């Protein structure tokens, strides 16, 4: 189904800079809105319930799975994460562009439900840089960093399934690439016809 809003799905191994890029995009472009996922993991640092995630118990998560409230959910790093249907559909029907920051399993599930979703994979420039970003972040124990790096190898092997790939070496360059992808979607025929209906009508383009 063709919705007036776009659905962007961004995946990356943790430490690739996905959250910073998506945050910067949303600051520059108010038409792009986040979808807040549910997770069973505990909040880190300054994270707030309802902002980065809805932090829920295992029981609450189970309840949502049973109620079919998720369009996708997955186990990531030993915790569960899910995207609620409501978070997406209502908004793309209304013409908003929604951006999801989820893992590759979730991204591939989303593509099955929303065939027009635009899948974007963010890669780090090297293993060394990925490791040092995780260490500098200072949020995870050495054990968790090793787990994240092992998972990164599996995740990056899935990049070929995505529509676009951004290599986050220089932040500004990667942000430019992300903006270019978003902009290109808005220039598609159906999107332009919707956004510029008067011009199309005046030019007799149906
Ligand atoms: P973190 O715990 O570092 O915030 O996130 C760990 C991983 O879970 C990241 O790759 C993140 O993108 C992914 N993730 C966050 N929300 C969702 C979601 O709703 N569904 C899926 N499948 N993955 C998610």
Domain ranges of the chain: 7-35+96-202
For ligand 1, whether the C-beta of 175 sits within 6 Å is no
Give tens-digit pLDDT for 109-168: 999 999 999 999 999 999 999 999 999 988 889 998 999 999 999 999 999 999 999 999
CA of 13 to the centre of ligand 1 (A): 10
For ligand 1, whether the C-beta of 155 sits within 6 Å is no
Q: Which fold has domain 7-35+96-202?
A: Rossmann fold (3.40.50)
Give tens-digit pLDDT for 18-51: 999 999 999 999 999 999 999 999 999 999 999 9
Predicted complex ipTM exceeds 0.85: yes
Closest CA to 182 of 2, 12, 30: 30
Beta bridge partner(s), residue 9: 100, 119
State the pTM of this model. 0.91
CA of 104 to the centre of ligand 1 (A): 9
Q: What is the DSSP string of 51-94?
A: TTEEE--HHHHHHHHHTT-EEEEEEETTEEEEEEHHHHHHHHHT
Contact 55, 41 (CB under 8 A): yes
């Amino acid at each position: 189904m063709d919705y007036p809003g776009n659905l962007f799905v961004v995946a990356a191994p943790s430490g690739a800079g996905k959250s910073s890029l998506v945050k910067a995009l949303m600051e520059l472009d108010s038409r792009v809105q986040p979808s807040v996922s549910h997770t069973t993991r505990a909040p880190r640092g300054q994270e707030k319930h309802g902002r980065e995630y809805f932090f829920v118990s295992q029981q609450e998560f189970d309840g949502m799975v049973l109620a079919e409230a998720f369009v996708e959910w997955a186990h990531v790093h030993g915790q569960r994460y899910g995207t609620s249907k409501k978070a997406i559909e209502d908004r793309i029907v209304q013409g908003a562009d929604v951006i999801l920051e989820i893992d590759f399993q979730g991204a591939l599930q989303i593509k099955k439900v929303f065939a027009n979703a635009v899948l974007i994979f963010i890669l780090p420039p090297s293993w060394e840089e990925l490791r040092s970003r995780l260490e500098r972040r200072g949020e995870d124990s050495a054990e968790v960093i090793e787990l994240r790096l092992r998972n990164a190898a599996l995740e990056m092997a899935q990049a070929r399934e995505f529509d676009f790939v951004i290599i986050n070496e220089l932040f500004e360059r990667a942000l430019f690439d992300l903006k270019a992808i978003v902009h290109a979607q808005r220039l598609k025929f159906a999107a332009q016809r919707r956004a510029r209906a008067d011009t199309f009508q005046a030019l007799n383009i149906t």
